[in-house]
Amino acid sequence: MRTCTVLILVLSLTIVSLDKALCQTPADKGQDIEKVVVGTNEVVLDAVVKDKKGHAVKDLTAADFEVSEDGVPQEVRSFRLVTREPAPLNEPNELSNAKPGGNAANNQPENTKTPDAARPASSLKGPIHFGALALVYDRLSPNARSIARQASLSYIDGMRRDDFVGVFGIDLSLRVLHRFTNDENKIRAAIEKALSHSSSTYASATDQISDLQDQQGGLQNQLDTGIQGASAGNDPSATVGAAAAQQQFNAMTLNIAQGFERMEHNQKGAATIEGLLAIIDGMKNLPGRKAMIFFSEGITLPTNVMSHFRSVISNANRANVSIYAVDAAGLRAESSDSQAGKAMTRLGQARARTAGSNSDPFGSMMQDLERNEDLMRSNPDSALGDLASETGGALIANTNEPGPRLRQVDEDLHSYYILTYT
- The 3-state secondary structure of 300-353 reads CCCHHHHHHHHHHHHHHHHCCEEEEEEECCCCCCCCHHHHHHHHHHHHHHHHHH
Amino acid at 31: Q
Q: What is the pLDDT of residue 402?
A: 94
User: Which residues does 313 contact at the CB level (< 8 Å), separation at least 6?
Assistant: 386, 387, 390, 391
Q: pLDDT of 191-229, one tens digit each?
A: 999 998 777 655 556 667 777 777 777 776 676 666 555
* Mean pLDDT, residues 352-362 taken together: 53
**Helix or strand or coil: residue 137?**
strand
Higher pLDDT residue, 257 or 143? 143
In a domain, 302, yes or no: yes
* Mean pLDDT, residues 137-146 taken together: 93
- Residue 18 reports pLDDT greater than 50: no
Higher pLDDT residue, 132 or 242? 132
Q: CA distances (Å), 59 to each of 98, 345, 377, 417, in order?
A: 28, 53, 41, 10
In a domain, 408, yes or no: yes
Q: CA distances (Å), 132 to each of 43, 91, 151, 373, 409, in order?
A: 20, 19, 18, 36, 11
* Mean pLDDT, residues 97-112 taken together: 38
**Helix or strand or coil: residue 217?**
helix
- Full domain range(s) for residue 293: 131-201+262-334+378-412
CB 280 within 8 A of CB 315: yes
Gap between the Cα atoms of 364 and 369, Å rounded: 9
Q: What is the pLDDT of residue 367?
A: 62
- Residue 67 reports pLDDT greater than 80: yes
Q: What is the pLDDT of residue 413?
A: 85
Higher pLDDT residue, 301 or 384? 384
In a domain, 168, yes or no: yes
In a domain, 56, yes or no: no
Higher pLDDT residue, 98 or 203? 203
pTM: 0.68
Q: How many domains does the chain have?
A: 1
Higher pLDDT residue, 220 or 282? 282
In a domain, 104, yes or no: no
CATH code, 282: 3.40.50.410
Gap between the Cα atoms of 101 and 108, Å rounded: 8
* Mean pLDDT, residues 44-53 taken together: 84
Q: What is the pLDDT of residue 179?
A: 96
Q: What is the pLDDT of residue 100?
A: 36
- Residue 376 reports pLDDT greater than 50: yes
Pairing of strands 78-83, 112-113: antiparallel
Pairing of strands 163-170, 321-327: unpaired
- Residue 316 reports pLDDT greater than 60: yes
Number of separate helices (H) and strands (E) present in the chain: 11, 12
Which among 279, 307, 275 has a CA at the least distance from the CA of 292?
A: 279
Beta bridge partners of 178: 167
Mean pLDDT of the chain: 75
In a domain, 227, yes or no: no
In a domain, 274, yes or no: yes
> 15-24, 155-164, 222-231, 337-346: which has the minimum mean pLDDT?
15-24
Gap between the Cα atoms of 308 and 270, Å rounded: 8
In a domain, 37, yes or no: no
